Structure 1
Amino acid sequence: MPFDVRLPIGLLFLAIGLLVAGYGVMGHVPLSAGVNIDLVWGAVMAVFGAIMLVLAALARRGDLPPPPEA
């Protein structure tokens, strides 16, 4: 089976997203226009990482076609 780049990208974005969102939850950063940017973008990165992990798992199971070869 060829190397699927979605797995390490998913793990990276999930880990960094959780760290940034956790930092936003702690509230150490002043709000920008009333929005906690660290919390919002940390959640966005964590969701993107989770989507990449789901796609990697589906590809490994055979539900998705393999990515094109370079």
Structure 2
Amino acid sequence: MNLNKVITHWPDMLKVAGSLVTNQVWAYDLLRMLGRESRPIPLGQAFAEYGRIAKTEHLLRVVDPPVDDTYRRQMNR
């Protein structure tokens, strides 16, 4: 996992998130901009790395739960 990409592009990632929340840009247009010719631009790669962080955390919480297994019980609902 390359966290340097996320750290480098964090300010731009926040701007993109703000633009989505305030409806200044549509998600469809944003996805087209983040990947050109089926290759992600560096900002798109940073978003992919950020998504991997969340996925890894989820898997770790499922495989090795802390003292209580509240997270797993919430998933089963």
Specify if TM > 0.5: no
TM range (shorter): 0.3 to 0.5
Quick one: higher RCO (CA 8 Å, sep 6+), 1 or 2? 1
Question: What TM-score do the two structures reach when normalised by structure 2?
Answer: 0.36
